[in-house]
Structure 1
Amino acid sequence: MLFVNTERLRVAYREHGNPDGEPLILLHGWPDDVHTWNPILPRLERWRVIMPSLRGYGETRFLQPDTPRSGQLSALAQDVLDLAEAMGIRRFHVAGHDWGARAAYNASLLEPERVKSCVAISVGWGTNDPGQAISLVQARNYWYHWYMATERGAEALRKERREFAHLLWRTWSPSWHFTEGEFHDTMHAFDNPDWAAVTIHSYRHRWGLAPSDPYYSEQEERLRHESVIKVPTLVLHGTEDGANSPQTSEHKEHLFSATYQRILLSGVGHFPQREAPDAVASAIVEWLDQY
């Protein structure tokens, strides 16, 4: 792992591909880590690929003990922008899965002049507004959100983090039979001392059940009142996604003022880059080649 300091974090990251290529930042989701991108990396050799561990994961650490262990989505987005700034990268492509997709969307809205293009995997734009209407099917999918809103659920996450994550992997992608080795390579990222705190705050904050970190008040204000993304955006969503139903990414075209494309991946669950790496890599390469 390589490391770079932002104002609040010591960010651990990996690099791949052409060091002189256009920067492409890949953002993993929850519960996952940078290993999630390994299956598609051989197709991304032309780009300077940067894969950070998000706050609360792997070897990424907060610089100060009194910094709130916030998992709010505005903080995740600002982390992306701060990472690029710390690395001297003015403009970049960004692709994210799950939490990473939400961070990619938000970074694109907050600073569109810096993001050349955006790829979001397994997440539709704007699906975690606390006041949103959700279907009963999606409410069922979000059981772990509601569970972590209780102290009992939070304690289960703290004590059984690996078992918690393993259960979600199995249920979110019903046709994917991952190996125990794949899970083993990733599960160590959850041993970060801040993983549980960041996770619990993230899911509680999304539903208005936890306070915001005031440090991100400006970003929060903009994300509450602005909804149209001005960056070219590609969405990839599996038809068997058991975390975010593919219906949650439908009918979003009006929220994008630049080129927008949505691709459904048949028979694929919540982890397309792991389950269908050839299809995902091909879609990403074709998309990036346009910009």
Structure 2
Amino acid sequence: MEVKARGLTFEVTEGGPEDGQPVLLLHGFPQDSREFEPLSPRLHAAGLRTYALDQRGYSPGARPSGVSSYRIGEAVADVVAVLDSLGLESVHLVGHDWGAQVAWLVAGRHPERVRTLTAISVPHPRAMLLALRVRPSQQARFWYFQVFRSAIAEKLLLGGGALVMRRMLGAIGFRADLYVKAMREPGRMTAALNWYRAFDNADVADLGEITVPTTYVWSDQDGVVGLTAALRTADWVAADYQLVAMRGVSHWVPEQAPKELGDAVLARIGV
């Protein structure tokens, strides 16, 4: 369905029992809401109502021009406005990659809108900032960030049959084709990369402790997030908290390990 919020039109895929507890699913890069397709049936079977949001830049009707339109605070405001448009006072929030970054900020700045938080792959922003300061290995893991901010990023990712993008998503197999095809839509890749180009550490440096029940899902084969950031996330949750560490799983948890992720999400929600 289409949801109008903040003068934009967002695409939202809903599913599950209409009277079920609401779960908002926030995707990352370079995927879209379809990354939760392997997970959603498990949530529906548990009686939950899911809303998978195509975030700004991914929804064709929510693709403003200009890098500044993709500051992380804009995405946070989108979530709150979409919840208002859907008539949802509060939700269980599940986010992966950039979606996790947004989810941490929504939970921290608008805790009244979040019943529980499950953040996948990306840790609390303050834990990440600490790891970047004290661990050269974490700095090295972020080599791609400057590449994605560069003027050549679109060509690099989509050139040559999108070989780089396909290799990046290698762990999810044929599902990578879904996102390669989508990213060929005019303007979509640039909008998605503008999330990287617009990001400033100052946008997250003031985020405090999370006060809603929280699970952080980290995988030991994640090439982006090291162990220090994963462990120090506990320092920033002043509520019931669990770290779920997955072995042998890459960054692409929702599609590579949907059963294990489903266990973690349902345990956090308590159904």
Matches of 1:129 and 1:258, distance apart in 2: 21
Three-state SS of the structure 1 residue aligned to 2:133 is coil
Q: Summarize deviations over 1:100-145 as a string: whole Å, max 9, x none.
A: 1011111111110111010000111015659951633223322221
Relative distance call for 1:277 and 1:154 in structure 2 (3 A) is closer
2:80: which partner in 1? 81
Matches of 1:256 and 1:270, distance apart in 2: 22
Task: Give the TM-score, by structure 1 length.
Answer: 0.82
1:115: which partner in 2? 114
Higher helix share: 2
Q: CA deviation at 1:165?
A: 2.3
Matches of 2:221 and 2:200, distance apart in 1: 25
Relative distance call for 1:125 and 1:279 in structure 2 (3 A) is same
Sequence identity (%): 24
Matches of 1:91 and 1:139, distance apart in 2: 36
1:103: which partner in 2? 102
Q: CA deviation at 1:244?
A: 2.0
Which amino acid in 2 is paired with 1:35? Answer: R
Matched, 1:195 2:188: yes
Which amino acid in 2 is paired with 1:241? Answer: D
- Structure 1 residue ranges (4+ consecutive) displaced by more than 6 angstroms after TM superposition: none
Matched, 1:185 2:166: no
Relative distance call for 1:66 and 1:152 in structure 2 (3 A) is closer
CA contact (8 A) 1:121 1:235 kept: yes
1:49: which partner in 2? 50
Q: CA deviation at 1:150?
A: 3.2
CA contact (8 A) 1:147 1:153 kept: yes
Relative distance call for 1:154 and 1:183 in structure 2 (3 A) is closer
Relative distance call for 1:146 and 1:234 in structure 2 (3 A) is same
1:238: which partner in 2? 219
1:217: which partner in 2? none
Q: CA deviation at 1:189?
A: 3.0
Matches of 2:84 and 2:40, distance apart in 1: 24
CA contact (8 A) 1:27 1:51 kept: yes
CA contact (8 A) 1:128 1:207 kept: no
Which amino acid in 2 is paired with 1:204? Answer: R
Three-state SS of the structure 1 residue aligned to 2:111 is coil
CA contact (8 A) 2:96 2:122 kept: yes
Task: Give the TM-score, by structure 2 length.
Answer: 0.88
Structure 2 residues not aligned, in runs of 5+: none
Matches of 2:2 and 2:193, distance apart in 1: 26
CA contact (8 A) 1:129 1:206 kept: no
Q: CA deviation at 1:239?
A: 0.7
Q: CA deviation at 1:207?
A: 4.5
1:149: which partner in 2? 149
Relative distance call for 1:161 and 1:231 in structure 2 (3 A) is farther
The count of corresponding residues between Structure 1 and Structure 2 is 268
Matches of 1:245 and 1:160, distance apart in 2: 31
